[in-house]
């Protein structure tokens, strides 16, 4: 039996208690809260009630443009990952609304699966961008598990991120790429993104940004929500095809990122994934 590797998970958040508490609950169960490292953007940020033994550091908040803020955050997280890799075998880096899961068919925990994987610097899970089906699904009940309420996802190259590393490399903004490195999509890993899990939640976020954002959301909707609401779901087997496509095709402007020739395909999340109480 192979020895389990030492694995850490890192993230950075601001005003995001809803997702951050779920991020801690999930990765804490998978890896132990003592192996979670969280940067809070602002000294005014509250430590989540379920933080347990997680390592939390508060940073002074500075207002920045979106692009500058993205570069600042990934710089801080990359530096943190480099430091952790002195003592850890693997670091998982992702946003607080992203959950790296292993297919339940493997009968392995995330830690077991990654410990047994032959990781070549980095590995990615297939990106599934989960959205609310406006015709079939009710507004989110915050007291219930997310996957008990949402069944559809857009297969997304944007979220097929190289979130797992075992060497000190430089992530691009949002963990979307690794500079000067190829990506490798694992056949049993998925990165579940919940940023579009609820339209009401998106509207509340837009209200904080101004009336123009709210009007835009009402007029144009959200791309992920529009897709899962309007497109016929593909069979589960299409996810295997998507992995192959994303490994072969690359955007002409970013050869270190996956591509799917602009295709937008929706899948119904397999029932077995509901074991993850996210």
pLDDT in tens, 106-124: 999 999 999 999 998 999 9
What is the Cα–Cα distance from 173 to 188, expressed in whole angstroms? 25
What is the Cα–Cα distance from 130 to 21, expressed in whole angstroms? 18
Sign of the alpha-carbon dihedral angle for 199, 277, 270, 195: positive
| Residue 14's pLDDT band (cuts 50, 70, 90) | very high
Rounded to an integer, the average pLDDT of 122-135 is: 97
pLDDT for the residue 145: 96
pLDDT tens by residue, 71-111: 999 999 999 999 999 999 999 999 999 999 999 999 999 99
Residue 241: which H helix or E strand, with range? helix 238-248
Residues 17 and 48: beta-carbon distance below 8 Å: yes
Is the model more confident about 1 or about 34?
34
Q: What letter would DSSP give residue 35?
A: G
- The predicted model scores a pTM of 0.95
pLDDT tens by residue, 233-242: 999 999 999 9
- Find, among 154, 99, 152, 54, the residue nearest to 278 by Cα: 99
Distance of CA 236 to the CA centre of its chain: 20
What is the Cα–Cα distance from 25 to 22, expressed in whole angstroms? 5
């Amino acid at each position: 039996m192979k020895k389990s590797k030492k694995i850490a998970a890192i993230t950075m958040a601001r005003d995001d208690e809803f997702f951050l508490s779920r991020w801690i609950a999930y990765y804490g169960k998978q890896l132990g809260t003592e192996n979670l490292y969280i940067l809070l953007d602002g000294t005014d940020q509250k430590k989540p009630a379920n933080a347990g033994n997680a390592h939390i550091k508060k940073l002074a908040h500075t207002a920045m443009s979106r692009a500058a803020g993205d570069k600042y955050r990934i710089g801080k997280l990359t530096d943190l990952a480099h430091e952790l890799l002195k003592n850890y075998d693997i670091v998982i880096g992702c946003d607080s609304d992203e959950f790296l899961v292993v297919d339940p068919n493997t009968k392995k925990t995330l830690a077991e699966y990654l410990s047994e994987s032959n990781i070549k610097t980095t590995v990615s899970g297939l990106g599934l961008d989960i959205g609310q089906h406006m015709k079939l699904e009710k507004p989110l009940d915050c007291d219930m598990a997310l996957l008990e309420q949402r069944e559809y996802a857009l297969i997304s190259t944007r979220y097929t991120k190289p979130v797992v590393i075992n060497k000190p490399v430089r992530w691009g903004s949002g963990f979307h790429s690794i500079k000067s490195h190829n990506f490798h999509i694992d056949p049993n890993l998925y990165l579940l993104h919940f940023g579009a899990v609820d339209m009401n939640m998106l509207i509340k976020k837009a209200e904080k940004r101004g009336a123009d954002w709210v009007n835009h959301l009402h007029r144009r909707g959200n791309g992920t929500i529009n897709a899962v609401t309007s497109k016929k779901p593909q069979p589960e087997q299409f996810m295997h095809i998507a992995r192959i496509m994303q490994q072969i095709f690359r955007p002409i402007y970013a050869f270190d990122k996956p591509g799917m020739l602009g295709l937008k395909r929706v899948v119904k999340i397999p029932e077995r994934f509901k074991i993850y109480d996210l």
